Chain A
Amino acid sequence: MLLIRCPWCGDRAESEFSCGGEAGISRPLEPNALNDADWSDYLFNRTNARGAHKELWNHAAGCRRWFEAERDTVSYVIKRTYKLGQAD
């Protein structure tokens, strides 16, 4: 089981969290301006990186807040977690 550091609650067991998938995907501001290929890319295509990966996690059985994590998808090591919008 992974030990995940919630930016609000500290280190907690993985079973308290749910994974929200790849981070940094924002809904297009003008969907009507998009063609089908761009819309499909937003909706379905994913980086699915082998190695460093930024993703969203939710502390579902805790403070219920979302945050971002930088995790290696091969070793599963979580390099760091941070509040949304505080990537740097």
Chain B
Amino acid sequence: MKKYSGFSLFRNALSHNLNWKQAWRKPEPKKHYDVIIVGGGGHGLATAYYLAKVHKIKNIAVVEKGWIGGGNTGRNTTIVRSNYLWTEASLFYEKSLKLWEGLSQDLNYNVMFSQRGVYNLGHNLQDMRDIERRVSANRLNGIDAEVVNATQIKAEIPLIDTSPDARYPILGASLQRRGGVARHDAIAWGFARAADALGVDIIEQCEVTGIHREKGRVTGIDTTRGKINAPKIGVVVAGNASVLAKMVDLRLPIESHPLQAFVSEPMKPVLDTVVMSGAVHGYVSQSDKGELVIGAGVDSYVGYGQRGSFQTIEHTLEAIVQLFPMFSRVRLLRMWGGIVDVCPDACPIVSKTPVDGLYFNCGWGTGGFKATPGSGWAFAHTIANDHPHELNAPFSLERFTTGALIDEHGAAAVAH
């Protein structure tokens, strides 16, 4: 792997940028691997990278039915934060946030991680009580968090409507200053390039059609590019988790929903932070290109179609325009839907399964992007040691049988 640097930019500029090498190889699948990761999104590529880097496993394949980062990694609002309520969740997301902070250096790839702060708005007294509770819980867990009032919000975000007669009056917010946004494509490309440099085979256009088992153990997969054998298989396929689980007669506590987001036409910088509101199901930030990036809540029905219903868009935009009246004149440029795998307790499953050698990483629902490096790091540990790390042990599949759910849905009261 040729290292990217200021000097390499300069040298390639001299040759009219015609001599950049491809960032990762396009290998043919081998007959056998030590570990196969199914799913070439951010989480899958991160898993492969940490398996190779931390656990020194060399013979790894990532199989992806489409192209790298073409699923939810390229279809989200790129918000990164770790201010979750429950200790299990907040420590896991905080591990991820810490990895984000060093990721560009680690991968030698600029993931454009910008810690511009994340505001979670409170619109009524109960919201503010929940915010006080969550901020206190975060601080007890060593995570930066503060409560700000409406005057402070108005001082830092002049465009926001904090007047008392607003449709959604703003009483205050929680603020995590270390939160922010990152470049969605860069995280997939950066992990793919770094994993490839460590010898990981990234096999695109390769859909899994079956999973082989012998005596309760996985032995390999059938794909559209032939059979591939491996004693360990990690499945990280987001919205299609239930489809893969069905191949081994496993039922998951997951439903797949469309989640929509939209981008406006580019404009001059107006918003230098991230504003979220769980109560109105909307969140907004401004990209480096100047587009407003706006996210909605999930559509209520099960859907695999990568698009959702118009009233969900309308509902979210109504709320955003109420919060930021100036945005009423901004036109949308494009919109899209991703398929998110939602667990009943809104927490992920990063776990072993009843099938030996088969591991599932799913259920991230609407909040998976922020967890990309931490999820890969913990899943790699789980696969390499056949045992979860203490950070992801609470996120097992068994918690739905034992009842030890981690109820972030109601408790955190925030849109993911």
**Residue B252 is within 8 A (CB to CB) of chain A in the complex:** yes
Cβ of B309 and Cβ of A1 under 8 Å apart? yes
Cβ of B255 and Cβ of A21 under 8 Å apart? yes
Contact of A37 among B254, B302, B309, B401 (CB under 8 A): B401
**Residue B87 is within 8 A (CB to CB) of chain A in the complex:** no
Q: Roughly how many angstroms separate A19 CA and B309 CA in the complex, as a whole number?
A: 13
Contacts A41-B251, A45-B251, A48-B254: A73 and B303 contacting too (C-beta < 8 A)? yes
**Residue A59 is within 8 A (CB to CB) of chain B in the complex:** no
Name the A residues within 8 Å of B301 (CB-CB): 19, 55, 71, 73
Contacts A1-B311, A14-B311, A18-B300: A40 and B400 contacting too (C-beta < 8 A)? yes
> A-facing mask of B248-288, CB < 8 A → 1, else 0?
00011111100000000000000000000000000000000
Whole-angstrom distance between the Cβ of B346 and the nearest chain A Cβ: 13
Cβ of A14 and Cβ of B309 under 8 Å apart? yes
Cβ of A75 and Cβ of B242 under 8 Å apart? no
Give chain A's interface residue range (CB within 8 Å of chain B).
20 to 34
**Chain B interface, number of residues (Cβ within 8 angstroms):** 23
Cβ of A15 and Cβ of B311 under 8 Å apart? yes
Which residue of chain B has the shortest Cβ distance to A53 in the bound complex? B302
Cβ of A48 and Cβ of B252 under 8 Å apart? yes
Contact of B255 among A41, A43, A46, A75 (CB under 8 A): A46
Contact of B300 among A19, A47, A49 (CB under 8 A): A19
Cβ of A74 and Cβ of B305 under 8 Å apart? yes
Q: Roughly how many angstroms separate A14 CA and B238 CA in the complex, as a whole number?
A: 26
Contacts A50-B304, A55-B301, A73-B302: A36 and B253 contacting too (C-beta < 8 A)? no
Interface class of chain A by DSSP: mixed
Cβ of A1 and Cβ of B310 under 8 Å apart? yes
Whole-angstrom distance between the Cβ of A68 and the nearest chain B Cβ: 13
> A-facing mask of B386-416, CB < 8 A → 1, else 0?
0000000000000011110000000000000
**Residue B199 is within 8 A (CB to CB) of chain A in the complex:** no
Cβ of A48 and Cβ of B309 under 8 Å apart? no
Name the A residues within 8 Å of B344 (CB-CB): 43-44
Contacts A1-B309, A14-B309: A45 and B303 contacting too (C-beta < 8 A)? no
Name the A residues within 8 Å of B402 (CB-CB): 36
Whole-angstrom distance between the Cβ of A25 and the nearest chain B Cβ: 12
Which residue of chain A has the shortest Cβ distance to B241 in the bound complex? A48
Contacts A2-B309, A44-B400, A48-B252: A76 and B303 contacting too (C-beta < 8 A)? yes
Cβ of A73 and Cβ of B253 under 8 Å apart? no
Q: Roughly how many angstroms separate A74 CA and B240 CA in the complex, as a whole number?
A: 12
Which residue of chain B has the shortest Cβ distance to A45 in the bound complex? B251
**Residue B243 is within 8 A (CB to CB) of chain A in the complex:** yes
Which positions in A face B, CB cutoff 8 Å?
1-2, 14-15, 18-19, 21-22, 36-37, 40-41, 43-50, 53, 55, 71, 73-76
Q: A46-B242, A49-B302, A73-B302 are in contact. List 18 more A-B contacts (CB 8 A).
A: A2-B309, A14-B309, A14-B311, A21-B255, A36-B401, A37-B401, A40-B401, A44-B344, A44-B400, A48-B252, A48-B255, A48-B302, A50-B240, A55-B301, A71-B301, A74-B304, A74-B305, A76-B305
